[in-house]
Amino acid sequence: MDSFTTGAKFECLLFDMDDTLYSMSSGINLACRHNIIDYMAHQLAIEESEVPKMCLDLYKEYGTTMAGLKVLGYEFDYDEFHADVHGKLPYDKLKPDPVLKQLLLSMPQRKIIFTNADKAHAAEVLSRLGLEECFEGVICFETLNEVGQSKSSTRILCKPLLEAMEAAIQIAKIDPERTIFFDDSARNIAAGKAAGFRTVVVGTSVLVPGADVALESIHNIKEALPEIWEGTNQLDLDSVIQPASVETVILA
């Protein structure tokens, strides 16, 4: 792979997953929010009438509702939270995306997922989309919050914290100035720009603060960012397009 990227302007492509690699219209995001609300009301015994607003407020303030609940002092098992919130998602709405797969495989750079979700959810989504062979690794909840570390802390490390961006840079051993960061969240894009990434907001044609490029769909990537393929020739691309027989691994 090094020989393919020698002449390339960028060395790494860092992708958010949910609502970035697939459309928000899938309903996964909405279903996830409903599951979180249900968990807060029934597992944490928070007054049901207060839960919807509290859920949204914590998400806006802390990056994820889960992170906000931790700051407020609620005690819960992270694995159980993720199993409850993600275990009931309508994953069947996600279908294989061969067009995106070929686009990703044709990119000569390292490709890494950077998500706030847990590893089980990341694996399920990538499998449903048929993209599990397209990425070198996954930076996820478990990566950023090592076992034992977060349980004694009052804070969960997640996007859009700049500290989470810096952790991803160290974990993946990447140069932010030669990395493109793709995300659907305006807050995450702003944090990515602060960390030094070239940034692409996905899911809108309107630039948000900190975004260098806006993509209404991830499928428009070749038209919007032809520089990803600069420094390669067709022989190189034909070699890269052959799927690797390795699984995406959790980076740690």
CATH of the domain at 57: 1.10.150.450
Is residue 212's pLDDT more than 80?
yes
Let me know whether 119 and 189 are in one domain.
Answer: yes
Q: Phi-psi bin for 250: left (phi > 0), alpha (psi -120 to 50), beta?
A: beta
Average pLDDT (134-154) is: 79
Residue-level pLDDT at 6: 45
Q: At what angle do helices 78-86 and 28-42 cross, to 10 degrees?
A: 130
User: What are the start-end ranges of the E strands in the chain?
Assistant: 12-15, 110-114, 137-139, 179-183, 198-202, 213-215, 249-250
Three-state DSSP class for 73? coil
Let me know whether 136 and 167 are in one domain.
Answer: yes
pTM: 0.89
Let me know whether 76 and 196 are in one domain.
Answer: no
Is residue 231's pLDDT more than 90?
no
- State which residues form the domain around 190: 12-23+94-228
Residue-level pLDDT at 250: 66
In a domain, 239, yes or no: no
Higher pLDDT, 227 or 238: 227
- Local confidence band at 155 (pLDDT 50, 70, 90 cut-offs): confident
Average pLDDT (171-183) is: 97
